[in-house]
Amino acid sequence: MHPNQLAQAALRALHLMDLTALNDTDTHASIRALAAAANTPVGTPAALCVYAQFVQTAQAALTEEGLDLPVATVTNFPYGNADPEAAAAETAAAIHLGADEVDVVFPYRALLAGDAEVGRKLVELSRAAVGDKILKVIIESGELKDPALIRQASEISIAAGAHFIKTSTGKVPVNATLEAAEIMIQAIHDAGKPVGFKAAGGVRSAADAAAYLAIADRIMGPTWASAATFRFGASSLLGNLLTTVGHDAGATKTSAY
């Protein structure tokens, strides 16, 4: 890819990022630093994604930065337990804390064992729990592995009301892949519903991001991918994107996330 094209893709990807910190070592101070990193010389990411106990810290820090960004959190994370009521209750609690978006883990192990119904119920209840906020469903494509199962989890989630389908938690050996993205975005296309896609885990460079965007552009058309329909969940990506567009990434403090 020509350097100018790569820089354009990097800038595009930056505005589609859920800038993420989901580490056991996260602190209120590190989340404030994450919010500061979102205030880049070339604009902001699409959202911040943090554990529920840091939602209000993230919101306050964004306000201090003069930024009006959504704050996302995760539920049923990272294990994807097959307990729809518990996932929905955790999702409702996250909304009560002020989360604008919730990324809930689909019960992928149940699907691997042949139970598709529990996933449908979990997504339906979680969608009801978010009210007018955004629900992203993490299907954990790297654990499902089989293209037919990735497609099935995507279709179940879309039919049950997901606003986005997301590849991965970032906590398993295989996270986002181009192959899974192709299957998932094709499922969105074929469903004909206004559902978005999120690639998470392992997207570390502008070149990586460009490859995912190329799939979306090819299947959905070059104007489809926006913050309302396409996200990258990433922690270390921001620095590379800023470097690619010609800015010093040293002050972003993302290397620890």
Catalytic residue among 18, 121, 198, 208: 198
For 220-231, what is each residue's pLDDT tens digit? 999 999 999 999
Provide the pLDDT for residue 12: 98
Catalytic residue among 26, 133, 166, 208: 166
153: nearest Cα among 128, 118, 102: 118
For 182-215, what is each residue's pLDDT tens digit? 999 999 999 999 999 999 999 999 999 999 999 9
Provide the pLDDT for residue 256: 29
> Domain ranges in the chain?
3-245
pTM above 0.85, yes or no: yes
Known active-site residue 198? yes
84: preceding bond cis by omega (within 30 degrees): no
Helix%, strand%, coil% for the chain, nearest 5: 45, 15, 40
Query: The domain 3-245 is classified under which CATH number: 3.90.1170.50, 3.20.20.70, 3.65.10.10, 3.40.50.2000?
Result: 3.20.20.70
Provide the pLDDT for residue 252: 44
What sign has the CA pseudo-torsion 150, 237, 197, 58?
A: positive
**pLDDT tier at 250, thresholds 50, 70, 90:** low
Q: Please give the span between the terminal C-alpha atoms of the chain, in angstroms, as a whole number.
A: 28
Rounded to an integer, the average pLDDT of 96-102 is 98
What is the 3-state secondary structure of 32-43?
HHHHHHCCECCE
For 110-157, what is each residue's pLDDT tens digit? 999 999 999 999 999 999 999 999 999 999 999 999 999 999 999 999
Known active-site residue 103? yes
For 43-92, what is each residue's pLDDT tens digit? 999 999 999 999 999 999 999 999 999 999 999 999 999 999 999 999 99
Distance CA 24, CA 51 (A): 10
Provide the pLDDT for residue 101: 99
Catalytic residue among 18, 103, 121, 208: 103
Enter the DSSP assignment of 52.
G
Provide the pLDDT for residue 177: 98
Q: What values do phi and psi take at 196, rounded to 5? A: -100, 175
